[in-house]
Amino acid sequence: MNADRSHYAWRPLLLDATHAHRTGQVSYDARGTVRLCHEGLGQPVQIPAERQYPCAFPTLLSLDKALSNSSNSPRMRSGGTLREAFDHEYQGYLTLLSKARETPGVWEPDYGSYVYDRRTGELYLVAPEFWHHLALLTSNAKLLTDPAGVLSAEEIRDRLAQTVVGFVGASLGSNVIEGVVREMRPRVAKLADPDYLEATNLNRLQHGSLRYLSQPRACRNDPRNGFETRFVSKAELVAYENQLVDPYMCWHLYPEGVSADNLDRFLLGSGTEPRLDYVVEECDDVRIKIEVRRRAREYGIPVFMASDLGHRSQAQLQDFAAHPTAPLGFQIADSELFARLERCMTSGVREDWFRLASGLLGEEFAVDEYRNWVDQVGEQPTSSIPQSGAVAQLSGALGGKLLALHRLGHPAFERVIIDTRRLRMTVD
């Protein structure tokens, strides 16, 4: 693994369009085929028009529709309104676009960024970072505010954008990622998961699809060997798909997972890798679950965990920054939690796993059909813990909302349970 964990095989390449045109990194022939040169590619690549996606204009078109010039258009630090800033940008872009069209041999103006998808060989041209991010967030309007209501839209956006969240586990975790990026649109995130995508993950893994059940046949040493399945890292596919939504976002990946050895770096950062403001713990390794909490508490980093428990979505935020002596588990002493952990790992007794789970989730975490699975009542088709795809989505949504609100100063609830079967909510 490179020291810089933001580099991985599928990471889309990001090139400033002006620089790319001037240096010849991106050039067009008469038929519009792009020749792309980049140190990350080795040889130059040819990208025909069929694989080019000019997205800057549609992005600005969409913003033109969404942004208002009314008197309550958000005020920028520069003094003008957001709409005024957009109008200035948009007019400039439209002028560039017209000029480009009139200039022989010019296919695109010096504007925005090229994004090259190394996995598919596709080239995107996207709006500059500020406007691209704005497009991704503008529909959220100003639904997220600080408790006192004093922060401007720009200040709120900055605070959320500067939040660094680290995700441990990318299955259910991908739903929390989706919630977080849709609500907060952070510039930097970290993701750790040692596992690869399996077909049985597809009911809950955001962005999972047939594309990722296996690497292409060409990756095999022997293309005809059907046993040579090259799997796809969950961490890489989730980061990759997210960077195709926001190519400006930086993901630091831990595809080997977090362990005692690298957990400090994951939490505290190193070099260009920042310290976390929150860690979202969604892994299935029970030792790591507890070690993440233990060290996060030591370093004063809040821990969020969403759980899909049958029909119930449960969200827990342990604010170790505000409460540095809070227990690691849910309303049990650390000593008891550690004792349960050791029993779980050594006894071989099934019930000890559930005792540990209740130490993290709270007693009576299993009800209704989920309880039936725990108690082995009735037909049970799966040997792994049942996980509802819809509840996974809800858990991710809760994660995005609760973390954004907490980041803006709203109080943390120790535990929120939404029972989708009874349409009831419980807050601790």
Partner 1 sequence: MVAAEIGMHDTPARRAFESWSLPLLDLEPFGALNADRQYRVSLAQARYLLGFSLLAPSSHNTVPQAYRLDLPHSTIELWLQRDRVLPASDPTGQQALISLGCAAENLVLAAAQYGIGCSWQPDAELAWNHVTPSPSPLPVRVGQLQLTPGAPIPDTESRHATLLTMLERRTVRAEFDSAQRLPPTLRASLDSALEPNGPITLSWFESPAEKFAWSKLDELASKHKLEERAFQRELGDWLLPNEDERSPRGMRGREFGFDDALTRELSAQLRGEVPMAVDQLAFMARAGRVGLCSASAVCVLSSHDQAAATALAVGHAFQRCALLARALDFSCAVHTAVCEVPHAQAMSQATLMPAGMTPRMIFRLGKPRRTSDASRPPSSRPLLDDLLLA
**Residues 349, 390, 425, 427: which binds partner 1 (CB under 8 A)?**
349
Interface with partner 1, residue 346, by CB under 8 A: yes
The tokens for 420 are: 């989708």
d(CA 303, CA 319): 6
Q: Which is nearer to partner 1, 179 or 257 (CB)?
A: 257
**Strand duo 165-168 + 34-36: pairing:** unpaired
> How far apart are CB 121 and partner 1 at their closest, in Å?
25
Sheet holding 250-254, edge to edge: 250-254, 188-192, 165-168, 278-281, 303-309, 312-318, 415-419, 424-427
Which one among 347, 411, 424, 425 touches partner 1, defined by CB under 8 A?
A: 347
Q: Which of 154/228 has CB closer to partner 1?
A: 228
With helix as H, strand as E and coil as C, how does 150-172 read?
A: CCCHHHHHHHHHCCCEEEECCCH
Residues β-bridged to residue 280: 167, 304
**Cα(first)–Cα(last) distance of the chain, in Å?**
41
Backbone angles phi, psi at 156, to 5 degrees: -65, -45
Smallest gap from Cβ 218 to partner 1, in A, equals 14
Name the residue nearer to partner 1 (CB basis): 43 or 221. 221
Q: Which of residues 257-296 bind partner 1 (CB under 8 A)?
A: 257, 259-261
Under rule CB under 8 A, residue 382 binds partner 1: yes
Least Å distance between CB 57 and partner 1?
42
173 contributes a contact to partner 1 by CB under 8 A: no
Closest separation between CB of residue 229 and partner 1, Å?
7
Which pair of tokens denotes residue 415?
A: 């535990």
Sole binder of partner 1 in the list 50, 102, 222, 364 (CB under 8 A): 222
- Note whether 385 binds partner 1 by CB under 8 A: yes
Total residues contacting partner 1 by CB under 8 A comes to 32
Does 350 bind partner 1 (CB under 8 A)? Our answer is yes
Q: Which stretch binds partner 1 (CB under 8 A): 121-129, 304-312, 326-334, 376-384?
A: 376-384
Cα dist. 310→353, 397, 399 in Å?
17, 16, 17
Instruction: Please state the length of the chain.
Output: 428
141 binds partner 1 (CB under 8 A): no
Site for partner 1 in 182-221 (CB under 8 A): 194-196, 220-221
Cβ-based nearer residue to partner 1, 120 or 225 = 225
Which position among 43, 70, 325, 384 is part of the footprint of partner 1 (CB under 8 A)? Answer: 384
Token digits for 118? 């190394």
Which of 71/382 has CB closer to partner 1?
A: 382
Pair 365, 357: CB distance under 8 Å = yes
Please count the other Cβ atoms lying within 10 Å of the Cβ belonging to residue 275. Answer: 13
Closest alpha carbon to 98 in 90, 114, 109, 110: 109
Q: What angle do CA 256, 237, 296 make, to 5 degrees?
A: 45
383 interacts with partner 1 by CB under 8 A = yes
Would you tell me which residues interact with partner 1 (CB under 8 A)?
Answer: 194-196, 220-222, 225, 227-230, 255-257, 259-261, 345-350, 353, 373, 376, 380-385
